């Protein structure tokens, strides 16, 4: 569960620049996509999902890719 440590997350995203750019796009565009699809409720879901993706990506990447 080191992926929840901020230092580990920073090192992970520094080592995976393309993944970091993808996460920036997801974090910033998900709320707008949710707003477009499902109004204010969709925007809130988009914010929650984008932050969950930001925190869980290093953990899942290490589990799946190794």
* Residue-level length of the chain: 66
CA R_g for the chain? 13
pLDDT number for residue 21: 92
Q: Domain range for residue 43?
A: 2-64
Number of domains in the chain: 1
Contact status, residue 57 vs residue 10, Cβ threshold 8 Å:
no
48 vs 33: CA distance, rounded Å: 13
DSSP classification of residue 65: T
pLDDT number for residue 60: 87
**For tokens 């393309």, what's the residue?**
18
| Per-residue pLDDT reduced to its tens digit, 38-47 | 999 999 999 9
State how far Cα 42 lies from the chain centre.
17
């Amino acid at each position: 569960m080191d992926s929840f440590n901020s230092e580990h997350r920073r090192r992970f995203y520094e080592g995976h620049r393309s993944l970091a750019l993808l996460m920036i796009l997801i974090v910033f565009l998900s709320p707008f996509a949710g707003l477009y699809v499902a109004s204010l409720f969709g925007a809130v879901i988009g914010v929650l999902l984008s932050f969950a993706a930001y925190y869980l990506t290093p953990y899942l990447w290490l589990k799946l890719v190794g």
